[in-house]
Amino acid sequence: MIVCTAQLTLFDQNDAPNIDKSITASLGTSQLYRSEDATTTYTPNYASTPNVIRAHVFVNGVDVTDILSGRKWGTSQGASDLGTNVSQISKNTNLATGSPHMTIYFEGDYTDPATMLVSHITDSISLVLVREGSNAVFVLAKGQMVIVKAADGTKNTAEVTCDLMRVTGVDDTGVTYKWFKSPYTAADQLDANHPDVISEKIIFKTTSGFGTVPPADGTWADVKSIVIREDAIQEIGLFQVQAKDADGKIYSTIFTVVDYSDPYDGKIIPSNGQVFVNGVGVKDCTPEIWRSGSLVDISGYTFYWWIYDKNGKKSGFIDTARTPTAKTISAHTASITGYFDISVALAAAPSAGDIIRVISADRLSVATYEVGPNSTTSRIYIRSPLNGFSSVAPTSNQYVNGKLWLCNGNGAAAGKKTTTGTTPLAVTGDDVDGQCRLVCEADNPLAS
């Protein structure tokens, strides 16, 4: 069974008690911008409905956010230009088209009442403006992304809703949905035969907000929302939602739900700190599991690893055997079922279900696409995602003269790595473009 999940960004090297942190956004982290003729629209529109950004800091399962001293919010680390002495702020202006990526930083100090040790807390969240034409569509997962385990009695829950966003707003007309738990294969669909659904750890709601029966095995249904019970996740739950519109087109996104009070606490320990200099070097990331303040023997554990890019999108680890260095992109089409041409051929053509990571020449854009059929050593076709990778088509010349890498894995296992026991995962500077989020699930069939 999966006993806990760790993220590298949650690792704290202080001697104070275990501190967990996250930042949530009431309207999600993506905003859509469209400009045609004299009409400009933002979806969602922060000017009319502010995006509430809230920090969550827990010490041993207790929410201490509101008692932190020196709380401040800023547009750079250490700054306080967005607010002080508050646990949440409201983003009530839309993102600028000239600066479509905004990172918001939160800081505060926690003083342990027993030891009087002071722990400095830092965290950040990124908001992204998606600038597209009249056919732009994206999926927004919103709702409660944090669960605190109930002391006794009725178990606590988190409700998450899927919105299919168009420039005109939320599209609910003829839209049906599928929900998945990691690793998002057909067997992981949250439907009538999934163990969490059978045991009612996860239930569904329709577009109207009413409870409904679970969808039949493998089917699409009007299940716009799911309600996740605390015992459905171990510390961090990784989920995917897919939305199919009335024309049969499928869109998806990945999100996490955090339970801060599980008995197992997972950590990721990177060698030589968490910062690469100029993308050079290798960091050995070793998992640790703690329970009731004691380090657990992990010799019988298996660890599953995923990596997410600077925009929070599912990515993969570079396959250094097939692409020891990046390939330069000479041309590409503007279609999710188009292709990328590279100037220097690969040794062998990639297979359908492989994944590629592409980075623009100015390094502002990064995406991971699934490889489609009929690819050659110099022309790589991509496809609409089947395994949770990017569904946003590249725009005209967006990645020309940029870099292309092949990543590890294929199909449902694409982008995933596995280690056992105390064997570390090697992460290279090429795996990280600006910043990334490393996620690790700990699996032990004998754990309780």
What digits encode the pLDDT tens for the residues 3-18?
565 555 322 233 345 6
Per-residue pLDDT at 10:
25
Asked if 95 and 162 sit in the same domain, the reply is no
Read off the pLDDT band of 23 (50, 70, 90): confident
Asked if 144 and 226 sit in the same domain, the reply is yes
Q: Please classify residue 443 by burial: count the beta carbons closer than 10 Å to its beta carbon, then call 0-12 exposed, 13-18 middle and 19+ buried.
A: middle
Per-residue pLDDT at 191:
93
Listed residues 103, 130, 157: the one ending a domain: 130
Q: What is the mean pLDDT of the chain?
A: 84
Task: Count CB neighbours of 126 within 10 A.
Answer: 16
Asked if 301 and 189 sit in the same domain, the reply is no
Residue 448 within a domain: no
329 vs 133, more confident = 329
Read off the pLDDT band of 369 (50, 70, 90): very high
Per-residue pLDDT at 213:
92
Asked if 92 and 153 sit in the same domain, the reply is no
What digits encode the pLDDT tens for the residues 394-424?
999 999 999 999 999 999 899 999 999 999 9
Residue 204 β-bridge partners: 212, 226
Residue 321 within a domain: no
Residue 397 within a domain: yes
Asked if 6 and 124 sit in the same domain, the reply is yes
Name the percent of the chain lying above pLDDT 70: 86
Asked if 124 and 165 sit in the same domain, the reply is no
Question: Which whole number is the average pLDDT over 70-74?
Answer: 94
Listed residues 130, 150, 170: the one ending a domain: 130
257 vs 349, more confident = 349
Residue 320 within a domain: no
CATH code at position 164: 2.60.40.2410
Per-residue pLDDT at 33:
77
What digits encode the pLDDT tens for the residues 89-117?
999 998 877 667 788 999 999 887 766 77
Residue 14 within a domain: yes
Question: Which whole number is the average pLDDT over 203-230?
Answer: 93
Could you tell me the residue range of the domain that residue 430 belongs to?
264-315+415-443
Distance of alpha carbon 162 from alpha carbon 144, whole angstroms:
12
Whether the pLDDT of residue 137 is over 80: the answer is no
How many domains does the chain divide into?
4
Q: Smallest Cα–Cα separation from 232: which of 274, 254, 210, 203?
A: 203
Distance of alpha carbon 315 from alpha carbon 407, whole angstroms:
8
Per-residue pLDDT at 16:
43
Listed residues 130, 146, 162: the one ending a domain: 130
Per-residue pLDDT at 11:
28
Per-residue pLDDT at 144:
81
Per-residue pLDDT at 313:
84
Residue 422 within a domain: yes
Distance of alpha carbon 140 from alpha carbon 243, whole angstroms:
10
Asked if 433 and 296 sit in the same domain, the reply is yes
Please name the amino acid found at residue 264. Answer: Y
Residue 186 within a domain: yes
Task: Count CB neighbours of 237 within 10 A.
Answer: 24
